[in-house]
Every structure is written in C-alpha cells, then in structure tokens.
C-alpha cells in the first residue's frame, strides 16, 4: 500500500499546536504519516488562527501558494481547519477553487471521515457545525516523539468572556471544560511515555469546571500534581478577573507547579479596560500582582498588551507604560490592535493611526527590553533548576563531535526562562540527559536567554519548593 503523506502548517497559539497534534493523530489512524516537506505531501492541511489580522493574512497567503501545487498534482488534497475555517466557512471554498475541505474548530473528530470521502470520490466539504459538546475519543493524545519532554494539554475550549476586541467566543464557541478524569488519563499516558512537563491550556483556566459543576481548577492542579513521574506543571491563560486567592495559594501548595503566571493585562488605563470589557481595573490587577508576589516571591509574571485600541489616547497609553514599569513583567507579548470580524470594537470610534500604533508598540518593546535586561542581570550568579529539553539550537549539528563536558544543552527555569548551558566538569560521574533536572549556575545573560554551567546533575535531587534559586 502506498504511504500517504500529511503536511500540516500550524499558525497561531499553543492551542492550535495542540489541535494540530490531535489532527495528526487522527489521520495517522487512517494511514497517513507526517511529512515535513510540503512538496512531498498527498494531503496538506493549514490549521489557521484569526485572532489578529496578520495571522489571517498569513493563512491566505499560504493557501494561495498551494494553487500551483494542486495544478501540478491534481490528486493532492488541500484543507483548511481552525479559526479562519470556522469564521469564513463556505466563503473559502467559493473564493479558492483548489481547496477540498474547510473544517471548523469543533469538527476535528469528523476529519478522518471527510478525508476518506474525498479520497474515494473527489468532492468539496464544508463542516463548521459547533456542536457544543467536546468530543472525547479514547486514547486521544499522540505518543511523544523520542526525546520530547514537554507537552500542552487542552483542558477547556471556547470562551464566555466576550472581550470586545476578541474573535475567540465566535470562532471557538462557548466555554466548555473537559472531564478531569479524561485529562488525568491523557497526562498519565504522556508521562508513561517520557513527558516530564505539562502545560494546561485554556482561554481562561481560572474558570475551569465551574459551568459544568466539575472540580475547580486548584483541585485539578492538585490531582495532576499526584501523577508519578511528572516533574513540572504549568498553565496558561489566566484571566485577571478570575484569579482567586485559592489559585494564588497553589503556587505554594502544589509542589510541581512552576513559578510562572501569564496574566494578560491588555491595558493600564481603566477607560480602555472598561471599553475592552475586561471587568477589572488597573488597581485590582495590581492587587493580584502583590498577592502573587507575597505568596511566591520568585514568581515570574508575563503579560499581553494591546496598543492602539479604538479611543486609546496618549494619556491612556502612558498609563499602560506606567503599569509595565510598576509591575516589571519578566516578558511581554505586545500586539497592534486590529479590527476582527464579529468583534464589537470594530465599530468603536476613535481609530488610532497605523503610524501611531507602530510607535506605541516600539515604545512598549523598548521599555520591556530594559526591564527584562534588569531582571536577567539580577539572575547572574544564581543557581537555577532546569529541565533539560535537548541540545541548544545553534549547537544541534556541532554537538555530535563535542566532548561531553563541552556539549551545549538547553532547558527552562521554573520561571520559563530559556537557559543554554554546558555540563562542565562538575558532575563527571553522571551526565546531562534530556528529561533530567539539573542545577545550572547562571554566568551570562542575554535579552531572551541565560547562559551557564551545570553544578549538579543528580536527577533524584530536587530543591524544596521556595529555594529553587539561590545566590552563589
Ligand atoms: N484568553 C486570553 C486572555 O484573556 O488574555 C488571550 C487569548 S488571545 C488568543 C491572545 C492575545 O491576543 C490576547 O491576550 C490579546 O492581547 C491579543 N488579541 C486578541 N484580539 C486582538 C485584536 N483584535 N487585536 C490585537 N490583539 C489581539
Ligand atoms: Fe478573548 Fe477575552 Fe476570551 Fe481571552 S478572555 S479568549 S481575550 S474573549
């Protein structure tokens, strides 16, 4: 039987990365193998994102390039999944004659049947039905690849918050949490197969379980913490309005939970926050930051900022900068506001010019670069616990010929900072390996990473909570 090759292009957030893994797993079951070269593929799928205009443009430009491939190879099957598929549906098929199928965000389980139909009798399919029920197939997660240590697991889908700039509630549907038992069995099977770090995904993990009367999020974290063989647990994203004291306390009580929270603030101006429908004020946000730091002084806090929201004045923007300076985020994702189909803010008055938006974005980047540099410099000389993920990027090929003590490795701290490091000569009897915990002394710092040498590489030795970093 001819091997059928699948190429997936994933655009967007970690949730899309998770969905692409789900798509691949389902298609492996009907005989497809994953291919990394698009020109070799029999089936090309683009898993799209429509959160910002730029991501959507990227998706359409890739789809446009596939038209020639389809002319040269008529049996090629081309499909669109994800948020743009959900948003545009039938219009994509009408606009692009080379597309065979468009499947929405809640149709992943129906994908294999759609492909088999097209393979048997070439036809064009649009399925953007939002069933409201999360399909839970047995054995849902794809087995980890060799040397993979970290995985995302989606615990909820959709969103009920309706921030006025955001397309998610329209393209991903209402918030639905997955059954905790299914989540735990998925994580257990990943851990048995070598995964050591799990990041739980949801648009607002803080409200996990509430709508369907399942367990709450802190309880879910505690249950996952008990899984043997799991070293680290992370989650994203937290909506500030729902960040409860109970959840903040888990940074002390849940041993495997990493000291990092992504807490998108979006703006430092109360006027803008109200028009965004974020349902917190800058004062409330700052209170949560203080509570987090009182509970866990080492916690790394990262955030999202939107610049140029309709009606954002220079004074509003200055308040955002003042908040960034006050909190001193570890890092930031800053975005230029774009109108999105269905999102109400598209109709708001007071549009900010593109030139001004770019200027504000640059100011945020410059300010944050300065803060990150200060935080990184303060880490020089500390010892950090690092989960080894693999060879450092620049060294992948060179490493084969290096002596063990000179091989360059990469991993992350509990605060999610990238550390590149060498084994050095401090642990001659034991060696660094992917999936092990090591302690690294930070010797140099860079804007986006840290550099150091291993001081302990004993996988059994883990520092107690609260003393994972100490000055040398
Ligand atoms: N659920 C998360 C939350 O509430 O913060 C974020 C989800 S969204 C996928 C990721 C980020 O994209 C948002 O935090 C926001 O900063 C940005 N974003 C969303 N819609 C946007 C828009 N229309 N223009 C620019 N940035 C946008
Ligand atoms: Fe979008 Fe707001 Fe929901 Fe986040 S919380 S996904 S920004 S609507």
CA dihedral sign of residues 71, 84, 56, 351 = positive
Residue owning the nearest CA to atom 6 of ligand 1: 203
Q: Which residue has the least CA distance to atom 1 on ligand 1?
A: 203
Query: Contacts by 84-91 with C-beta closer than 8 Å and gap 24+?
Result: 84/48, 84/49, 84/50, 84/56, 84/59, 84/60, 85/48, 85/128, 86/50, 86/128, 86/130, 86/171, 86/172, 87/50, 87/167, 87/170, 87/171, 87/341, 87/342, 89/126, 89/128, 90/126
pTM, 2 dp: 0.92
pLDDT of residue 427: 66
d(C-alpha 436, C-alpha 459), whole Å? 6
Closest CA to 171 of 51, 265, 336, 21: 51
Q: Render pLDDT for 370-392 as a digit per residue (tens, 0 to 9).
A: 999 999 999 999 999 999 999 88
Q: Is the pLDDT of residue 461 over 50?
A: no
Mean pLDDT of 262-288: 98
Which of 319-333, 391-405, 437-451, 454-468 has the least mean pLDDT?
Answer: 454-468
The residue assigned the tokens 């949490």 is 177
pLDDT of residue 133: 58
CA distance 191 to 198: 9
Pocket of ligand 2 (CB under 6 A): 159, 161-163, 166, 168-169, 203-204, 239
Return the structure tokens found at 184.
Answer: 């735990």
As a whole number, mean pLDDT of residues 268-295 equals 98
Lowest mean pLDDT among 49-58, 356-365, 456-465: 456-465
Span 25-80, pLDDT tens digits = 999 999 999 999 999 999 999 999 999 899 999 999 999 999 999 999 999 999 99
CA-nearest residue, atom 7 of ligand 1: 203
Beta bridge partners, 47, equal 10, 81
Is 52 close to ligand 1, i.e. is its CB under 6 Å away? yes
Task: Report the residue among 52, 168, 170 best suited for mutation to probe ligand 2: largest number of ligand atoms under 8 A from its CB.
Answer: 168
Other C-beta atoms closer than 10 Å to the C-beta of 102 total: 27
Q: How many secondary structure helices (H) and strands (E) does the chain include?
A: 13, 20
3-state SS of 363-385 is HHHHHHHHHHHHHHHHCCCEEEE
CA of 50, nearest ligand number:
1
Place of tokens 């994800």: 82
171 lines ligand 1 (CB under 6 A): no
* pLDDT (tens digit per residue) in 144-185: 887 899 999 999 999 999 999 999 999 999 999 999 999 999
- What per-residue string of b and e applies to 39-66 under the rule 16 or more CB within 10 Å gives b? eebbbbbbbbbbbbeebbebbbebbeeb
Confidence class of residue 121 from pLDDT cuts 50, 70 and 90? Answer: very high
Tell me the helix, strand and coil percentages in the chain, rounded to 5. Answer: 40, 20, 40
Using a 10 angstrom Cβ sphere, with 0-12 exposed, 13-18 middle and 19 or more buried, the burial of residue 309 is buried
What is residue 397's predicted lDDT score, i.e. its pLDDT? 57
- Nearest ligand to the C-alpha of residue 335? 1
pLDDT at 129: 87
Residue 412 has pLDDT above 50, yes or no: yes
What's the rounded Cα separation, in Å, for the pair 300 and 450? 15
Radius of gyration of the chain (CA): 23
How much distance in Å is there from the Cα of 34 to the middle of ligand 1?
30
- What's the distance, CA 105 to chain centroid? 17
């Amino acid at each position: 039987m001819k091997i059928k090759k699948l190429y997936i292009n994933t655009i967007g957030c970690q949730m899309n990365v998770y969905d692409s893994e789900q798509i691949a797993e389902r298609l492996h079951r009907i005989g497809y193998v994953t291919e990394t070269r698009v020109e070799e593929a029999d089936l090309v799928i683009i898993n799209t994102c429509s959160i910002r205009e730029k991501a959507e443009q990227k998706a359409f430009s890739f789809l446009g390039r596939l038209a020639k491939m389809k002319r040269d190879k008529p049996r090629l099957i081309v499909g669109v999944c994800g948020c743009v598929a959900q948003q545009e549906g039938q219009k994509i098929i009408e606009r692009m004659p080379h597309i065979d199928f468009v499947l929405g965000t809640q149709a992943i389980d129906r994908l294999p049947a759609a492909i088999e139909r097209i393979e048997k009798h070439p036809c064009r399919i649009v399925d953007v039905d939002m069933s409201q029920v999360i399909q839970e197939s047995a054995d849902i997660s794809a087995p980890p690849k060799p040397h993979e240590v970290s995985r995302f697991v989606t615990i909820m889908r959709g969103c009920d918050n309706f921030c006025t700039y955001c397309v998610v509630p329209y393209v991903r549907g209402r918030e639905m949490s997955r059954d905790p038992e299914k989540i735990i069995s998925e994580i257990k099977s990943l851990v048995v197969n070598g995964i050591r770090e799990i990041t739980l995904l949801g648009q607002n993990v803080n409200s996990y379980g509430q709508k369907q009367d399942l367990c709450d999020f802190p309880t879910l974290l505690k249950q996952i913490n008990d899984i043997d063989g799991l070293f680290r647990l992370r989650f994203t994203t937290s909506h500030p309005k729902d960040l409860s004291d109970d959840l903040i306390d888990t940074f002390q009580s849940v041993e495997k939970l990493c000291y990092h929270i992504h807490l998108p603030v979006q703006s430092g101006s109360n006027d803008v926050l109200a028009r965004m429908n974020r349902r917190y004020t800058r004062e409330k946000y700052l209170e949560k930051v203080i509570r987090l730091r009182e509970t866990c002084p080492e916690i790394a806090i990262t955030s999202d900022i939107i610049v140029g929201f309709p009606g954002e004045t220079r004074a509003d923007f200055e308040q955002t900068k003042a908040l960034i300076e006050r909190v001193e985020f570890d890092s930031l994702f800053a975005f230029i506001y774009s109108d999105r189909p269905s999102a109400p803010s598209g109709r708001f008055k007071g549009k900010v010019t593109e030139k001004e938006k770019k200027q504000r974005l640059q100011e945020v980047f410059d300010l944050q670069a300065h803060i990150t540099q200060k935080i990184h410099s303060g880490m020089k000389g500390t010892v950090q616990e690092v989960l080894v993920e693999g060879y450092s990027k620049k060294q992948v090929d060179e490493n084969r010929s290096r002596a063990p003590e000179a091989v360059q490795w990469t991993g992350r701290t509990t605060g999610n900072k990238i550390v590149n490091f060498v084994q050095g000569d401090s642990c001659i009897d034991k060696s660094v390996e992917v999936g092990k915990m090591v302690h690294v002394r930070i010797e140099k710092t860079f804007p986006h990473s840290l550099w150091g040498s291993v001081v302990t590489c004993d996988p059994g030795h883990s520092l107690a909570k609260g003393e994972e970093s100490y000055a040398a």
